Amino acid sequence: MQCWVGVRGSSAVPARQPAGRVWGVRRTARATSGFKVLALGPETTGVIQRMQQLLDMDTTPFTDKIIAEYIWVGGSGIDLRSKSRTISKPVEDPSELPKWNYDGSSTGQAPGEDSEVILYPQAIFKDPFRGGNNILVICDTYTPQGEPIPTNKRHMAAQIFSDPKVTAQVPWFGIEQEYTLMQRDVNWPLGWPVGGYPGPQGPYYCAVGSDKSFGRDISDAHYKACLYAGIEISGTNGEVMPGQWEYQVGPSVGIDAGDHIWASRYILERITEQAGVVLTLDPKPIQGDWNGAGCHTNYSTLSMREDGGFDVIKKAILNLSLRHDLHIAAYGEGNERRLTGLHETASISDFSWGVANRGCSIRVGRETEAKGKGYLEDRRPASNMDPYTVTALLAETTILWEPTLEAEALAAKKLALKLTPQCLCHPTDEVVQLACSLNARSAQRACPAADTELDRKVVKKLLSETPTDFGCHGSQVSHPCTLHRALPYVCGVPVPCVLRLVVLNLLGARCTPRIIECRPEPTPNKQLLNQQRHK
C-alpha cells in the first residue's frame, strides 16, 4: 500500500535574529520534528516509525559536525536546486563556509564540455527541517574564473546596493509573495473539484472553514518554519482565489530582501513536497474570472520616511513611470496574462498611480498621504519575479537614475504630479531676478554671446557669495555650490538648482506654489545684469 506522508512540524522556539547575515543561528538550538501520516498501511508502520526516529535524531551531543544545505537558483531563473555537505563545526558567518561546485549542464546553466559552476555562500539561515546547528545556505553562482553566470541576479543587485548613494538611503523592502497550491496528479488548484470550478470569488479571501480555506496547514507550517529559520516573515493570509495564499517578508534592507525571499521559497517548496502538493508561482494559473498571483513590492528610502517624504515618493513615481517598459520586462514571465486591468491589476501597457487604488501600477497608502511620508507599493511584479532584480531595479531607478528635465516635466504633467524638485533652494532676490532673466531669454531662444559670458560670471559670483542658499539638502551634490546632477545648460550657462525650478516651469510641469513664477520685465533685468557686471 502506498504511504502518504504529510507536513513535518517543529516544536522549536524561533531564535532571535543575530547581527549580520547568519539568520536565526543559535548553537544551543534544538528542534524536534515528526511526520503527520495521512494514510498508512499496517505493513509500513514500522518502517515509518524507524525513519521518523532517524529524522528526529539530534546529533549535537555526539558531534560538532553540521549539515549545510547549499541552495541556488537554477537555469530557468525561478527553479531552486540544493545539495548537502558536512561542515566540521558550526559557523556564524557565510565567509567561514567553503565554496562548492555543481554540474551546470544538468541545470541548464553550463555546456557539457565545461560544466562546472561554482557556488559562493552568501547568507545563512537555520535549517527548520534538520534542526540543531544545521543550516540553509543561500548561494550565488559563478564560472571557475569568477565571473557571474547569466542567471546570477544577486551579483548585479549587490553592486547596486553597495553604491554609497543607495546605502545612504537605507532602502527598505516589504515583499508580498503570493502562490497557488495545486493537486499533484491533476494539476488543478487545491480544494477545487477535479475538472470543475468552485463558487465565484468573494468568500475565500482571509476566510475560515473547510469549504472556503484550502491549505491552511501548509501556510501555517511555512510561517513557523520561516520564523525558526530567522527569515523576516511578517504575516500570511488566504488570498482571493481559493487555493491561493500569500505571505509577507520584511521590512528587509537592501540585498537581504532577496536572500530572505529565496530562502522562504525554498522552505515552502520543501513543505509542499512533504505534503504531496505542488507549489506554483505562475502569475495566472487559472484563466478566466480569477485573480492572478503577484509579488507586490513595498518600498521606501530614508528620504521617503522622513518629513517631506511624500514629495520624494512622487519624484520616485515619476522616475518609475519613465522606465515602465524596463521594469515590466524584468518583473516576471507571463505577467501579461495577469496585468490586464482587471482583478486588482493595472494594464501592462499603461503606467498609473493612485492613493489607495489597487488597480494602479503604483499604490500609495492613505496613511502615507496623511502623514506626508512613508512608502509606495509597486503592484506590477509577478509572483515568479526575481527578488534581486526587482529590488535592485527599484533602487536604481529611484536613487541612481535621473531623467532629463524635459522628460521629467512631461511625465509630471501626464501623471498630474505636483512635483517639488529634489533640489529646492531658497534663493536671494538677485538670484531670482537672474533666473527670470535667463528664463525669458531662453524662451525667446535668443542667446547673444556677450550675455552668455556675462551670465556665466554673474552665476559664478552669486554662487560664491551665497553658498548656503544652494544647499540642496546636502545629499544630492558633492558641494553646496556644484550643479545638481547632470543639469542642462540655458544659453550656455550651467543651470544651478534654483534655475532648475524655472526650467521646469518653462517646460510646463505642474508644480507647487513653491516653484518660482517668473514674469520678468526686460528693463529691470538688464539693469541687474549691468550692476553685477560693474561689481
3-state secondary structure 500-531: HHHHHHHCCCCECCCCCCCCCCHHHHHHHHHH
Mean pLDDT of 309-337: 96
Determine how β-strand 4-10 pairs with β-strand 188-189: unpaired
The pLDDT of residue 48: 82
Segment 370-429, tens digit of pLDDT: 999 999 999 999 999 999 999 999 999 999 999 887 788 788 888 888 765 443 333 344
User: For residue 109, what pLDDT band results from cuts at 50, 70 and 90?
Assistant: very high
pLDDT for residue 27 is more than 80 = no
Q: Tell me: the pLDDT tens digits for 443-502? A: 333 333 334 444 444 444 444 443 333 333 333 333 322 333 333 333 333 444 444 444
More confident residue, 307 or 521: 307
In angstroms, the first-to-last Cα distance of the chain is 100
pLDDT given for residue 407 in this prediction = 82
Helix (H) or strand (E) holding 166: helix 164-169
Counting Cβ atoms within 10 Å, is residue 55 exposed (0-12), middle (13-18) or buried (19+)?
A: middle
Burial of 201 (0-12, 13-18, 19+ CB in 10 A): middle
**Sign of the CA dihedral 41, 42, 44, 50?**
positive
Average the pLDDT over 285-301 and give the result: 98
Which of the pair, 174 or 488, is modelled with greater confidence?
174
> If you write DSSP's letter for every residue of 334-360 in order, what string do you get?
TGGGT-BS-SS--BTT---EEES-TTS
How far apart CA 315 and CA 217 sit, in angstroms, is: 43
Digit-coded pLDDT (tens) for 265-279 = 999 999 999 999 999
Report the distance separating Cα 161 and Cα 252, nearest Å.
12
Q: Are 395 and 161 in contact (CB under 8 A)?
A: yes
Strand, coil or helix: what is 389? helix
Q: So what's the pLDDT on residue 475? A: 31
In degrees rounded to 5, what are phi and psi of residue 196? -130, -170
Q: What is the pLDDT of residue 490?
A: 36
DSSP-derived letter for residue 150 is T
The three three-digit cell numbers of residue 511, written as one number: 508644480
Task: For residues 120 and 259, give the distance between their C-alpha atoms in angstroms, rounded to a whole number.
Answer: 13
Does position 516 have pLDDT exceeding 80, yes or no? no
Q: At what angle do helices 497-506 and 405-414 cross, to 10 degrees?
A: 50
Mean pLDDT of the chain: 80
**pLDDT tops 80 at residue 437:** no
Euclidean distance between CA atoms 169 and 161, whole angstroms = 10
pLDDT confidence of residue 479: 31
Is the previous residue joined to 251 through a cis bond, with omega within 30 degrees of 0?
yes
Q: What is the pTM of this model?
A: 0.76
Long-range contact list for 53-62, CB < 8 A, 24+ apart?
Answer: 55/8, 56/32, 58/30, 58/31, 58/32, 58/131, 58/132, 59/132, 60/30, 60/132, 60/133
Q: Which domains does the chain have, with CATH numbers?
A: 4-151 (3.10.20.70), 164-401 (3.30.590.10), 429-534 (no CATH)
With beta carbons less than 8 A apart as the criterion, state whether 294 and 283 touch.
yes
pLDDT tens digits for 233-252?
A: 999 999 999 999 999 999 99
Q: Give dist(CA 225, CA 11) in Å, integer.
A: 10
Is pLDDT larger for residue 482 or for residue 221?
A: 221
User: pLDDT band at 50, cuts 50/70/90?
Assistant: confident
What pLDDT does residue 141 have? 99
